[in-house]
């Protein structure tokens, strides 16, 4: 146990990616020099740490203490393992490969037919993963964790409790099926939840702990962070505001956005893109449809804001096509909520869900590598 | 610091209220016997612990070790201090007085006029507090903490950011004003939030960590617990679903419940009670009004449920007059939410907000008396 804690404390001091001297590690960790030497030796053996050659003339932090004995430099080998972030979407499969520091080393994108059944879709996932690993020259055995995003309500074990967007998805043991393809942990999460995590990590919500991410789309959803942590809800269904439309007399996006009186196909994103483009170009019928849709979106977001009271609402999904959404949303939230949150467009674009999945995998790895539990107060783990 | 921790560990072992021997305390705390003796001596001096006379023939837990020396028994003096839970409502002021174990020792209720301005209302609060203290024979200086519930959005300092239900309430520094009357900490919280806390403490939500309390009324609100902790929101405005009515084309409760086509007075609870009674008695116009209102309530609750995904929804406020609300609510939530929560009526009745305020005050006291931070692992505080 103490060995594990000492290793975690030492790895933490190394995780910045900069190479560091043994003496610095002794100072940073509060461990004794012999302890650090022992820990480093076993970390080098395990492949997690490498000794680095430095110029003899290089500046020495710590100053005069190194006199006579040349300093030894070490770095964390982020390339010792890798993680995957996967989005399984209605129209595409997206895979991001990164090292243990979260540095992206490969991505692959595969458009898929919305009509694929679950087996065909899982097969497309396997192909896409194989392709990204092959391109990067990384072995499957080198994966430490895999994060996966999917539409629908996903429980903690990774079973899809409800997933109407893709054929054969409801009831699928997605976690179990994917775990057959990997020897490492596979973590499944709802796509909007992952988008919230991703925007908090690298997008519009950096530094904000109370965030609602709204995934605008034909099946709208949302993900919330409360105090910086994902709020999944008791049954993993938090933020599934799509159903609010049911309360609004069938005012579904595909009806609201129709320019013909006949609803759009509920999966036909191309038809939606056409309406958005027409509206931008000044087509009146399309503009009316767009206004109808925005009115409904504002209502959904207002309901979320009243329930949760976030600091920031991030709008994504179709956000790219909804340039005009921010101003009306801001105005309506001022009117209809008691304390209007800030409003921003998503920053991460089409990779947002896969990035969130990557972050979840990275959290898992960091927990294993760096977690010291119970937390030490600096010198707590001194050997 | 160590003294404080040892005292907290010892008080924890005594908090059950049962009297306990010194030997038991040594076993329960993991502290040495001389340490426990020292701690107990200072706790007796401070009035928090009393030595208890026991029959010489009473059974001795711990067995043979007491031979020759008579066991000394001690108990926590819950009466060493007191706490208050106060509800400041539109139509009433309610005060509950309890000892440090949360045992209620006095209550007082004072109906007030809805038109009172802030000064008059605060004065009524002071009178009610004085009355409950006088009746119980407790000195104001004996108060350790005061919890206060108020309608509206209350920030962490106790300033009312928005409080439309009572004249002069918005912008009031309620915390600052009440702190002048007490020498102990005064904690201000939104009324629906306190109701959620109270139902979780002693009502319908005992043992459930993910709970939404819906306060049905002319200005409906809600309070949520997530993982057993109050979710206040970034600005203290979480659960203020009353504003959803604004999105529903002026479908406010006072319009929905009207039987005349003319809205009820937004503060006239008596008129509401009349409509509810008429509906129960079979009056058709009243029943239509009631159905309209219930439909709206279901919509608000559904929005909350979709956003938060709680395990349980507790309906209070007018719940007493809404016997019929549970079945339609349950059915509609089954239809309109993706994972329907359990639904229950509030159990605590008209004291629910004051009880929640009491619980908040008690939490504060328990933090001071029993908190050991950082947490010890049994023997961690051994002297």
pLDDT digits (tens, 9 = 90+) for B248-280: 545 566 666 666 667 766 667 777 778 878 888
Specify the CATH architecture of the domain A207-347.
2-Layer Sandwich (3.30)
Confidence of residue A249 (pLDDT cuts 50, 70, 90): very low
Mean pLDDT, chain B, rounded, equals: 85
Contact state of B240 with A335 under an 8 Å Cβ cutoff: no
Q: φ and ψ at B220, to 5 degrees?
A: -65, 150
Lowest mean pLDDT among A18-22, B102-106, B333-337: B333-337
Question: Measured between alpha carbons, how far is B124 from A143 in angstroms, rounded to an integer?
Answer: 67
**Interface mutation target, options B200, B210, B309, chain A, most CBs of A under 10 Å:** B309
DSSP string, B156-218: TTSBEEE-TTSTT-TT-BHHHHHHTT-SS-EEEEEHHHHHHHHHHHHSTTTT-SSEEEEEESS
Nearest residue on chain A to B377, alpha-carbon basis = A374
Contacts of B222 in chain A (CB under 8 A): 307
**A45, A10 contact by CB (below 8 A):** no
Contact state of A210 with B233 under an 8 Å Cβ cutoff: yes
Tell me the average pLDDT across A53-60.
Answer: 59
Give chain B's count of helices (H) and strands (E).
Answer: 12, 15
Put simply, whether A163 touches B (Cβ < 8 Å) is no
Question: Measured between alpha carbons, how far is A224 from A236 in angstroms, rounded to an integer?
Answer: 11
Choose among A231, A304, A338: nearest Cβ to B226.
A231
Lowest mean pLDDT among A223-227, B36-40, B193-197, B326-330: B326-330
Nearest to A348 by CA among A248, A147, A201: A201
Put simply, whether B303 touches A (Cβ < 8 Å) is yes
Q: What is the pLDDT of residue B379?
A: 33
Q: What is the pLDDT of residue B187?
A: 97
Tell me the average pLDDT across B329-353.
Answer: 87
Domain positions in chain A:
2-76, 81-196+352-366, 207-347
Q: Which long-range contacts (CB under 8 A, 24 or more apart) does B245-254 make?
A: B245/B296, B245/B300, B246/A335, B246/A336, B247/A299, B247/A302, B247/A303, B247/A336, B248/B296, B248/B299, B251/B292, B251/B296, B253/B217, B253/B218, B253/B219, B253/B220, B253/B293, B253/B296, B254/B218
Put simply, whether A1 touches B (Cβ < 8 Å) is no
Choose among B224, B233, B306: nearest Cβ to A240.
B306
Sort A17 into a burial class: Cβ within 10 Å, 0-12 / 13-18 / 19+.
Answer: exposed
Assign B54 to helix, strand or coil: coil
Q: What is the pLDDT of residue A236?
A: 85
Distance from CA of B19 to the nearest CA of A (A): 33
pLDDT digits (tens, 9 = 90+) for B13-56: 888 778 889 888 998 888 899 999 999 999 999 899 999 987 65
Superfamily of domain B81-196+352-366: ATPase, nucleotide binding domain (3.30.420.40)
Tell me the average pLDDT across A18-39.
Answer: 89
Nearest to B343 by CA among B201, B200, B204, B196: B204
Confidence of residue A381 (pLDDT cuts 50, 70, 90): very low
Question: Measured between alpha carbons, how far is A230 from A197 in angstroms, rounded to an integer?
Answer: 7
Q: φ and ψ at B47, to 5 degrees?
A: 90, 0
Question: Measured between alpha carbons, how far is A212 from A361 in angstroms, rounded to an integer?
Answer: 21
Question: Measured between alpha carbons, how far is B311 from B41 in angstroms, rounded to an integer?
Answer: 46
Confidence of residue B374 (pLDDT cuts 50, 70, 90): very low
Would the pLDDT of B343 be above 50? yes
Nearest to A198 by CA among A215, A176, A183, A184: A215
Helix axes A2-14, A22-29, angle to 10 degrees: 120
Put simply, whether A231 touches B (Cβ < 8 Å) is yes
Contact state of B243 with A338 under an 8 Å Cβ cutoff: yes
pLDDT digits (tens, 9 = 90+) for A367-378: 888 876 644 333
The rounded percent of chain B whose pLDDT value lies above 90 is 49
Choose among A224, A336, A377: nearest Cβ to B247.
A336
Contact state of A240 with B338 under an 8 Å Cβ cutoff: yes
Largest pairwise CA distance in chain A: 85
Which of the pair, B83 or B376, is modelled with greater confidence? B83
Distance from CA of B51 to the nearest CA of A (A): 37
Put simply, whether B371 touches A (Cβ < 8 Å) is no
Peptide bond into A374 cis (omega under 30): yes
Q: What is the pLDDT of residue B138?
A: 96
Which of the pair, B372 or A78, is modelled with greater confidence? A78
Q: What is the pLDDT of residue B281?
A: 87
Nearest to A46 by CA among A96, A3, A90: A3
Q: SS3 for B235-303, per residue?
A: CCCCCCHHHHHHHCCCCCHHHHCCCCCCCCCCCCHHHHHHHHHHHHCCCHHHHHHHHHHHHHHHHHHHH
Contacts of A342 in chain B (CB under 8 A): none
Q: C-alpha angle with apex B35: B32 to B40, nearest 5 degrees? A: 125
pLDDT digits (tens, 9 = 90+) for B151-175: 988 988 899 988 888 999 999 999 9
Tell me the average pLDDT across A15-23.
Answer: 84
**Which fold is adopted by the domain B2-76?**
Arc Repressor Mutant, subunit A (1.10.10)
Contact state of A307 with B241 under an 8 Å Cβ cutoff: yes
Contact state of A243 with B310 under an 8 Å Cβ cutoff: no
Distance from CA of B329 to the nearest CA of A (A): 13
Contact state of A302 with B374 under an 8 Å Cβ cutoff: no
Q: What is the pLDDT of residue B7?
A: 86
Mean pLDDT, chain A, rounded, equals: 85
Nearest residue on chain A to B312, alpha-carbon basis = A234
Tell me the average pLDDT across A37-52.
Answer: 91
Which of the pair, B342 or A58, is modelled with greater confidence? B342
Put simply, whether A251 touches B (Cβ < 8 Å) is no
Please report the ipTM that was assigned to this predicted complex. 0.77
Tell me the average pLDDT across A47-60.
Answer: 73
Would the pLDDT of B348 be above 60? yes
Locate tokens 């329960």: which residue?
A: B28
Report which DSSP code applies to B379.
G
pLDDT digits (tens, 9 = 90+) for A300-333: 888 888 889 999 999 988 755 666 778 878 888 8
Q: What is the pLDDT of residue B249?
A: 46
Which of the pair, B79 or B292, is modelled with greater confidence? B79
Instruction: Say how many CB pairs under 8 Å bridge A and B.
Output: 134
Compute CA distances A209 → A80, A201, A241, A280, B74, whole Å.
Answer: 31, 11, 21, 34, 46
**B345, B316 contact by CB (below 8 A):** yes
Bridge partner residues of A317 (DSSP): A216
Tell me the average pLDDT across A124-146.
Answer: 96
Q: What is the pLDDT of residue A264?
A: 67
Decide yes or no: CATH 3.20.20.150 for domain B206-347.
no
Classify the phi-psi angles of A17: left when phi > 0, otherwise alpha if psi is within -120 to 50, otherwise beta. Answer: left
Would the pLDDT of B380 be above 50? no
Q: SS3 for chain A, per residue?
A: CHHHHHHHHHHHHHCCCCCEEHHHHHHHHCCCHHHHHHHHHHHHHHCCEEEECCCCCCCCCCHHHHCCCCCCEEEECHHHCEEEEEEECCCEEEEEEEECCCCEEEEEEEECCCCCCHHHHHHHHHHHHHHHHHHHCCCHHHEEEEEEEECCEECCCCEEEECCCCCCCCCCEHHHHHHCCCCCCEEEEEHHHHHHHHHHHHCCCCCCCCEEEEEECCCCEEEEEECCEEECCCCCCCCCHHHHHHHCCCCCHHHHCCCCCCCCCCCCHHHHHHHHHHHHCCCHHHHHHHHHHHHHHHHHHHHHHHHHCCCEEEEEEHHHHCHHHHHHHHHHHHHHCCCCCEEEECCCHHHHHHHHHHHHHHHHHHHHHHCCCCCCCCHHHCC
Q: How would you label B282-307 residue by residue, b for 16+ Cβ within 10 Å and e otherwise?
A: ebeebbebbebbbebbbbbbbbbbbb
Fold agreement (B2-76, B81-196+352-366) = no
Other C-beta atoms within 10 Å of A100: how many?
23
Locate tokens 């692992």: which residue?
A: B377
Contacts of A241 in chain B (CB under 8 A): 303, 306-307
Contact state of B240 with A306 under an 8 Å Cβ cutoff: yes
Contacts of B244 in chain A (CB under 8 A): 302-303, 306
**Interface mutation target, options A161, A192, A247, A377, chain B, most CBs of B under 10 Å:** A247
Distance from CA of A202 to the nearest CA of B (A): 21
Q: What is the pLDDT of residue A375?
A: 40
Would the pLDDT of A62 be above 70? no
Contact state of A302 with B339 under an 8 Å Cβ cutoff: no
């Amino acid at each position: 146990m103490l060995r594990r804690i000492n290793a975690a404390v030492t790895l933490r001091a190394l995780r910045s990616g900069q190479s560091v001297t043994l003496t610095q590690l002794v100072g940073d960790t509060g461990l004794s020099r012999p302890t650090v030497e022992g820990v480093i030796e076993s970390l080098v053996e395990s492949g997690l740490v490498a000794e680095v050659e430095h110029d003899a003339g290089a500046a020495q932090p710590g100053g005069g203490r190194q006199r006579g004995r040349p300093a030894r430099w070490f770095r964390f080998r982020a390339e010792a393992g890798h993680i995957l972030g996967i989005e399984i979407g209605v129209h595409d499969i997206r895979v991001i490969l990164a090292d243990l520091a979260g540095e992206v080393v490969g991505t692959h994108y595969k458009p898929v037919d919305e009509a694929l059944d679950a087996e065909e879709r899982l097969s497309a996932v396997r192909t896409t993963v194989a392709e990204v690993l092959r391109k990067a020259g990384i072995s499957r055995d080198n994966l430490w964790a895999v994060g996966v995003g999917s539409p629908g309500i996903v429980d903690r074990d990774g079973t899809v409790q409800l997933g109407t967007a893709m054929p054969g998805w409801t009831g699928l043991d997605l976690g179990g099926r994917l775990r057959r393809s990997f020897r490492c942990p596979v973590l499944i999460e709802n796509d909007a939840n992952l988008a919230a995590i991703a925007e908090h990590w690298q997008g519009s919500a950096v530094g904000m702990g109370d965030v609602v991410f709204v995934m605008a789309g034909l099946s709208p959803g949302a993900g919330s962070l409360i105090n910086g942590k994902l709020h999944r809800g008791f049954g993993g269904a938090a933020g599934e505001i799509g159903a609010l439309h049911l309360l609004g007399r069938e005012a579904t996006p595909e009806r609201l956005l129709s320019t013909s009186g006949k609803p759009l196909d509920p999966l036909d994103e191309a038809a939606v893109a056409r309406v958005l483009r027409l509206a931008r170009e000044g087509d009146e019928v399309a503009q009316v449809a767009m206004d109808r849709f925005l009115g409904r979106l504002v209502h959904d977001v207002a309901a979320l804001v009243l329930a949760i009271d976030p600091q920031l609402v991030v709008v994504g999904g179709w956000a790219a096509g909804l340039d005009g959404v921010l101003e009306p949303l801001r105005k309506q939230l001022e009117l209809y909520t008691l304390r209007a949150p800030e409003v921003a467009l998503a920053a991460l674009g089409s990779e947002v869900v896969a990035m969130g999945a990557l972050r979840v995998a990275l959290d898992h790895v960091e927990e294993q590598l760096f977690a010291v539990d119970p937390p030490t107060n600096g010198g707590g783990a001194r050997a």
